[in-house]
A and B are shown apart, each in its own frame.
Chain A
């Protein structure tokens, strides 16, 4: 970040996109828009005042008079505050959207124009390229926000907000746009030039997802909502928790902290992971991209598990129906954590899939005794197991930490161990299947592999439905054999799972063995000479 204004990549974008004529046009348009919005706000407040004054004259009550006097006395302040809110809202949406979309085309766009190789052969390090692109790609919107910032500042201060409150808007904008920009850039590195259109759809989906995270503020992990641009904007606009848009503060280790701080904490920590993945891979050739090393993946899994317990909201209410809330007891927290670990382990598995070439080298070295199953170029399954062990250790820690709120029973830990094992086995099977897909000549093997997995789970659902026609028990057995849904069965105590669960576990272990065999067969195939280009 130091001296980013001298970063060649940043300078290139600045020169290309902020030529004097364009910069002046953008500045004038932004100021004109501010003026127009200001006039609209003034007109709105004038209307409010006129209505109140008419009401006071017509009805001649104290309430109407007080309202009219209040609006008259605060006319200027309210107008500025309204302008401030509009400007912050519009800038927030425009900035986050633009940052994500422009960065989502950064690398794939260069691949498309065939300029990427030339950039990769320069002496720019991956970090320099990353900073240059992150700050350079959305430079036009940064400039527009910069032009609007004096007006925003004046409006905020004149609207009665503190200097700190106004400055925090810009801190939030910077942090969130960096986070979304990194997310977009990561998406972009995963796309070959021919899938650039898919990338734009992906970016749109990602933006929609971040907006939808806003809904998390009313969940068991309310802090996650801080990663949505909407949350920050709503919070920064200064609505109180009692108002329609106001939200209660999110807990971090059961202490309530401001939304802005939560946004900064989450966006910075997730940005750090994204930056790590980008720096590792930015200068690599497309087939050699591997998001994380083995240890990094385990650390990432630990971080995400840690986050679950840090952001957990144990609040429940007492009503006539008894205790209500997201997590009434330790068992429900454990089930939630196991479910989340299914997703976390799958993502970590995806992040550590080994490219075919590296896997072949690993196998040859393993045959000669020069490598082992924990090697970085080996199969991902040993590391998934390690991630699951770390997740279980963190679960024990988390549940013990919440012991004062949810008393922990030993049977909960036993049940959770089996649940986690179930999840691990299914995730390992699916990840190894995707690894096998990578060894085939399928185009877009991960996408196609994921579709095959979707088909598998769809077929399992159909079979369960068919079994349900004859008996409920049959449906449960089918589910236990083919899917990890048993994880969410609330009636299990200790390790007393139905026998079908253990049979299903053995069945899936067999499936893992079969996939491993298929992978080994693929790796043993003889090489053809030439014709690679």
Chain B
């Protein structure tokens, strides 16, 4: 649904995006993470047709955005970190303007406005002037604008940075519901915990290049040299546990203290069961035994500190 083919963007003396090739299938929520200046915004702006690429192509729903921008725009909903609205219009007028600008069929527009106004909880403000709305309401109106034409692709550039926690949660739920309807979402964010458990795949950008991309599991698995396993037990079996673990060549970095500890395991997930069985047979009264999954934030910190590049 979203395809970047050798996408490149130069500004003055700066290479903002370098030869980016990426395919995001339909229904995916792809999180784009990276530090400031990594090229996330530039990538999203090129996908939205706001910037022309220096080289390469951004293809949305099979349409080259630079070649046929107006045709591609019908599939794109764009949201950025600011929610500027036309203050001198009423809420419904604002949505009506964008519905017409996206060239929705005339007969569908009133119904669609009612629907999105309800989706963003602005029913009571439908006839209110925008200049009288609170900041949070304007933000919700901005979200309504982006989805008025039921886009198949949502491009979100740090959308939550200006939102209060409640609005963030609402945005998250809204995006999940859009995804459930088959929309593909490309989202960039600094707040990595926000992407966790929400994105189906991620891409890490640094200095204009995609350092790593794929499903969160794939990326974390590829980044981790060995699994981190946590273990807790009762009683005085520290020595037995340590001895048993050391007997396996695939185990390393054993850090055990009284009743708890971690170790690295170089084998597969299925190979962990015999390790647990061995510990129990050695008399260790195990109360917890499990792999510690890496968070996106940990992974990102690791990647950006060049530990796994």
Interface, chain A (partner B; CB < 8 A): 6, 8-9, 11-12, 15-17, 113-115, 117-125, 283-285, 287-288, 356-357, 360-361, 441, 525-533
In Å, the complex CA distance between A526 and B102 comes to 41
Tell me the B69-109 residues at the A interface (CB within 8 Å): 69-71, 73-74, 76, 78, 80, 82, 84-86, 88-90, 93, 97-98, 100-103
A530 touches B84 (CB 8 A): no
Apart from A9-B101, A528-B15, list 7 A-B contacts with CB within 8 A: A115-B86, A122-B73, A123-B71, A285-B50, A530-B208, A532-B9, A533-B42
A531 with B88: in contact, given A122-B101, A285-B52, A357-B10 (CB under 8 Å)?
A: no
CB-nearest residue of chain B relative to A530? Answer: B207
Tell me the B122-146 residues at the A interface (CB within 8 Å): 145
Which among A114, A117, A361, A528 is the interface contact of B50 at CB below 8 angstroms?
Answer: A117
In Å, the complex CA distance between A17 and B86 comes to 12
26 contacts between A and B (CB under 8 A): A6-B100, A12-B89, A12-B93, A15-B89, A15-B93, A16-B89, A115-B84, A118-B78, A119-B101, A122-B73, A122-B102, A123-B74, A283-B69, A356-B12, A357-B12, A441-B13, A527-B14, A529-B18, A529-B209, A530-B14, A530-B16, A530-B208, A531-B14, A532-B15, A532-B16, A532-B208
B39 touches A532 (CB 8 A): yes
A8 touches B101 (CB 8 A): yes
CB-nearest residue of chain B relative to A525? Answer: B13
Give chain B nearest CB distance to A281 CB in angstroms. 12
Give chain A nearest CB distance to B148 CB in angstroms. 10
Task: Tell me if B110 is interfacial: C-beta within 8 Å of chain A.
Answer: no
B84 touches A114 (CB 8 A): yes
A532 touches B42 (CB 8 A): yes
Task: Tell me if B41 is interfacial: C-beta within 8 Å of chain A.
Answer: yes
Tell me the B1-27 residues at the A interface (CB within 8 Å): 9-16, 18
B100 touches A8 (CB 8 A): yes
* A356 surroundings in chain B (CB, below 8 A): 12
Give chain B nearest CB distance to A164 CB in angstroms. 38
B49 touches A533 (CB 8 A): no
Which among A9, A17, A123, A528 is the interface contact of B14 at CB below 8 angstroms?
Answer: A528
In Å, the complex CA distance between A441 and B12 comes to 8
Which among A117, A123, A357, A529 is the interface contact of B101 at CB below 8 angstroms?
Answer: A123
B208 touches A529 (CB 8 A): yes
* B90 surroundings in chain A (CB, below 8 A): 15
Give chain A nearest CB distance to B79 CB in angstroms. 9
B97 touches A11 (CB 8 A): yes
* B54 surroundings in chain A (CB, below 8 A): 357, 360-361
In Å, the complex CA distance between A526 and B12 comes to 11
* B51 surroundings in chain A (CB, below 8 A): 285, 288
Task: Tell me if B206 is interfacial: C-beta within 8 Å of chain A.
Answer: yes
Give chain B nearest CB distance to A348 CB in angstroms. 23
B103 touches A118 (CB 8 A): no
Give chain B nearest CB distance to A111 CB in angstroms. 10
A532 touches B11 (CB 8 A): yes
* B45 surroundings in chain A (CB, below 8 A): 285
In Å, the complex CA distance between A512 and B187 comes to 48
In Å, the complex CA distance between A360 and B12 comes to 9
Task: Tell me if B113 is interfacial: C-beta within 8 Å of chain A.
Answer: no
In Å, the complex CA distance between A532 and B174 comes to 31
* B295 surroundings in chain A (CB, below 8 A): none
CB-nearest residue of chain B relative to A122? Answer: B101
In Å, the complex CA distance between A361 and B89 comes to 43
B82 touches A114 (CB 8 A): yes
